[in-house]
Amino acid sequence: MEKVFVYGSLRTDFWNYDKVLKNRVRQVEKGQIKGDLYHLPAGYPAVILGEGTVYGEVITLSQDKILKSLDLLEGYMGEGEENLYVRVKQKVHLEDGSQQMCWVYIYVDEKVAKKAGKYIPHGDWKEFKNNKK
């Protein structure tokens, strides 16, 4: 089964989880990755390579084909294409202290993220969104 680290609207309690993932996952675990997190003007988050910590969840998909639905949602058309995000394997540190290699969507245009986005130093988009209300 494929595992995906999600840090934005695909996390539980958010709209894209309900729309795309609800009843299609085997397990949800809290985790964190290395990277820098930004909130983009379009209303969604972007992770770029960096030394910060980004908090999210590891979603174990019930079927591998669901990954293609996530690719479409995240604007990932495959290697060599003009992608909004790229999907890469990255080490995720889980809450229980273990580590797993999981798919992560990394924002392609680092310059846009840094220039137009709002940096989230605490690394948790869910907390950022909840505090904006």
The residue extents of the domains of the chain are 3-126
Percentages helix, strand, coil for the chain (3-state, rounded to 5) are 25, 45, 35
Query: What 3-state DSSP class applies to 133?
Result: coil
Distance spanning both ends of the chain, measured CA to CA:
36
Average pLDDT over residues 59-85: 95
State the chain's maximal CA–CA distance in angstroms: 39
Active site residue 82: no
CATH code for the domain defined by 3-126 = 3.10.490.10
Q: Is the pTM of this model over 0.85?
A: yes
Structure tokens at 101: 């290699």
Catalytic residue among 57, 74, 82, 95: 74
- Tokens (6 digits) for 72: 């479409």
Q: Quick check: 133 pLDDT over 60?
A: no
Q: pLDDT tens digits for 24-58?
A: 999 999 999 999 999 999 999 999 999 999 999 99
